[in-house]
Structure 1
Amino acid sequence: MSDNLREELQHKNEETLRSVNAKDFNLPEELHVYHSLYPLDIRQEKSVKVFGYPSWVYKSTCSVDGRVYSLRRIEGFRLTNEVAMSTIENWRKIRHANIVSIREAFTTKAFGDHSLVFVYDYHPLSQTLFDKHFSSTQMSAQFHSNISESVLWSYIVQLASTLKTIHSSNLAARMIEPTKILLTSKNRSVN
């Protein structure tokens, strides 16, 4: 194994094992079958731009299988129709290299409000497309160096393949938002 690959895997493992005291961040000790919540949001402001509700992302460990998952919490969302949760089953069936697999969804009051939580596979050391290419710190660093054509084509091909898979499953990707597209490794994106 090359030294670079060994180092990358070690950093990913360290990131997976990172933890915080839940009380310091006002997080619940347990959430459904998940524990050891760790906030992943770089930006701490509550953004309602994408979902219409504030949303937060956490890393968490499942007490059933011991694996680490990513939890997206939609804050203040009150589920009025249980039939809406059946759509999650259609999304769970999708298996594609560029789509982060959803595992389940549930509602909770553990945060002191009505929240909807989506459980996804966790990809350590990922960053969003927005953070990589459009954040204020990256904009100043990349002002004179444009994104190369090969990188753009890589993103376009991966997004087109993702949309084709979603549409062939009779589902819709109602938005393509750079803050919700993950870059998991060199030029590999997952939605």
Structure 2
Amino acid sequence: MIFVYDYHPGCETLLNRHFSPDQPGYCDPFINDTSTPRPYSYQKNNLLRHTQNNKLPEPLIWNYIIQLTSALRVIHSSALACRSLDPTKIIINSRNR
């Protein structure tokens, strides 16, 4: 089996860039018990672990929204579906692209 994928050096995922566990306000209820099954809502709630002081700047949010919606527009115009729009699948380079 051979996997082929593009290599993007210096890039990181949206989840790692803005929702890392070492930021203040992060509390992982499953940190002590790794054998406990995690509910589906656990993944969604992981995105809500910022405190009020760590909000993303509005221009950066708009930058992400415009880039993601234009990517979705290209995908949909090709009669395809985007089935994996997830913070772990979106990569960001040093210029937030």
**Quick one: percent identity of the two aligned structures?**
46
Count of residues in correspondence between the two structures:
72
Q: Which runs of 5+ in 1 are unaligned?
A: 1-107, 109-115
Structure 1 segment 50-129 matched on structure 2, within 5 A:
108=1, 117=3, 119-129=4-14
Q: Which has the higher contact order (CA 8 A, sep 6+)?
A: 2
Structure of higher CA gyration radius: 1
Q: What TM-score results when the alignment is normalised by the length of structure 2?
A: 0.66
What's 2:62 paired with? 153
- Residue 171 of structure 1 corresponds to 80
1:77-129 Cα offsets, whole Å, 9 max, x none, are xxxxxxxxxxxxxxxxxxxxxxxxxxxxxxx1xxxxxxx72x22211010000
What is the aligned-residue RMSD (CA, Å)?
A: 1.8
* Equivalent of 1:162 in 71, 89, 92: 71
Aligned-partner Cα distance in 1 for 2:94–2:76: 25
The answer on 1:140 being equivalent to 2:24 is yes
Distance (whole Å) between structure 2 residues aligned to residue 179 and residue 129 of structure 1: 6
Structure 2 letter corresponding to 1:169: S
**Cα distance in 2 for residues equivalent to 1:147 and 1:132:** 11
Could you say which structure has the higher strand fraction?
A: 1
Unmatched runs of 5 consecutive residues or more in structure 2: 26-49
- Structure 1's consecutive aligned runs of 4 or more residues displaced over 3 angstroms after TM superposition are none
TM-score by length of 1: 0.35
